[in-house]
Structure 1
Amino acid sequence: MNNKFDALKDDDSGDHDQNEENSTQKDGEKEKTERDKNQNSSKRKAVVPGPAEHPLPYTYTFWDSRRMPGRPASSQSYEQNIKQIGAFASVEQFWRFYSHMVRPGDLTGHSDFHLFKEGIKPMWEDDANKNGGKWIIRLRKGLASRCWENLILAMSGEQVMVGEEICGAVVSVRFQEDIISIWNKTASDQATTARIRDTLRRVLNLPPNTIMEYKTHTDSIKMPGRLGPQRLLFQNLWKPRLNVP
């Protein structure tokens, strides 16, 4: 892929409990603790490029999720079971995460990786997503790792060229097939969705007869029996550097 990621692909550049004296102090300390947690959370999300690093147009966050087949869940429990892996704002920071992550083709069961712009959760109901939709491509087994890499490099490297419209991308590993999707903000903007479709065909090198489906998040929300992914253990996402292909 001809962009600034290519030159760096092989680079190695990888609250405390409070005492409760009385009910008044307890309430005050609880509020203070919550404020401190929120402040610390904000600080953790403030990711910036390091010295001499190559900045990206946006900061992105990797997420993961896993669900047990056949277990429906509400949107609230779905949100609770999505786990942040980490955020990056430069090419070098991206490769520090990505070079140690298990590839989608090596995952088993019902697993998902998400890559979304900072501040956007990989949920239909998020303010940035609720009026949008996604292009969906169903893949036969064995193609997910390559397609996922090409997709997220194109997305974070701004090859899609639709301004603020892109929200994120998802790869879903299933037993019989894998699914790649890219989410955008405005489902009603047909010119933009068509441009995203054409870019997907190009960066994924899809055959002309490939079936691509566009689905609005409104339609997804209306579907009964939403399935909530279960939390994927953090250590299962990573493998030693020497074992990365």
Structure 2
Amino acid sequence: MNNKFDALKDDDSGDHEQDNSPPKDSEKEKNENEEKDQNTTKRKAVVPGAGEHPLQYNYTFWYSRRTPGRPASTQSYEQNIKQIGSFASVEQFWRFYSHMIRPGDLTGHSDFHLFKEGIKPMWEDEANKSGGKWIIRLRKGLASRCWENLILAMLGEQFMVGEEICGAVVSVRFQEDIISIWNKTASDQATTARIRDTLRRVLNLPPNTIMEYKTHTDSIKAWEDFHGLVNASGGR
């Protein structure tokens, strides 16, 4: 799978829009009825193009940026996450990725998220709420390479944990950068251990690298406790 990715790295032909040619008259009524049935809110599912190499799952890139120190709520966080686009094949991935800024070139308090299509990069999402994430803190200058290695391993199914992987995040901060990979079931210790060991291997981490696993339940509790203290002290 890695060879396939490497071979396609510079393939930037075509675009990632679906075929938007107007439907024939005989199909218009059918399409309109189908859209009504789907409440006209769902995007058309992204599919591999002819001759492309399909991924096992469809994925979506997201981006978020916020002002440090500004009080945040779940609602404001969700509104701040911007969807970049979805892809279903190796080729479609490279069309997005080749035009994206690398994490090491981002400034301020910024995040890239790459999650399976249909899963929002939020603790409360149905697919995430019983899970957790492995966290690795990086010194400046390492984020771009580690992020690329991480997402290629994820897309190439190198973690070998079935449907457990939800997505990955790279967080650019002022003093350090952070990468994490999220999984569905925090209580499955065998799975979380396998993810940890694979992460160590694909990122070629030194043996003394500190890796922290944090459940989303703990993250939510810590967030609520912190904001409760802020509000109690009049900092709302």
- Using the size of structure 1 for normalisation, the TM-score is 0.80
Instruction: Give the match for residue 79 of structure 1.
Output: 78
Deviations 1:38-88, CA, capped at 9 Å, x for gaps: 7444234x1000000000000000000001010121111111110000000
Are the equivalent residues in 2 in contact too, given 1:137–1:180 (CA < 8 A)?
Answer: yes
Instruction: Give the match for residue 165 of structure 1.
Output: 164
Name the SS for the 2:43 alignment partner.
helix
Alignment of structure 1 residues 1-245 onto 2, 5 Å: 2-13=2-13, 14=15, 39-44=39-44, 46-223=45-222, 224-225=225-226
Structure 2, unpaired ranges of 5+: 16-34, 228-236
Residues of 2 paired with 1:170 and 1:39: CA distance? 31
Instruction: Give the match for residue 25 of structure 2.
Output: none
Residues of 2 paired with 1:165 and 1:117: CA distance? 11
Are the equivalent residues in 1 in contact too, given 2:165–2:184 (CA < 8 A)?
Answer: yes
Residues of 2 paired with 1:94 and 1:86: CA distance? 10
Residues of 2 paired with 1:156 and 1:78: CA distance? 26
Q: What RMSD, in angstroms, separates the aligned Cα atoms of the two structures?
A: 1.9
- Using the size of structure 2 for normalisation, the TM-score is 0.83
Deviations 1:174-193, CA, capped at 9 Å, x for gaps: 00000000000000000000
Structure with larger RCO (C-alpha < 8 A, sep 6+):
1
Q: How many residues align?
A: 206
Name the SS for the 2:208 alignment partner.
coil
Residue 3 of structure 1, CA deviation: 4.1
Residues of 1 paired with 2:188 and 2:144: CA distance? 30
| Letter matched to residue 181 of structure 2 | I
Residues of 1 paired with 2:130 and 2:62: CA distance? 21
Are the equivalent residues in 2 in contact too, given 1:4–1:157 (CA < 8 A)?
Answer: no
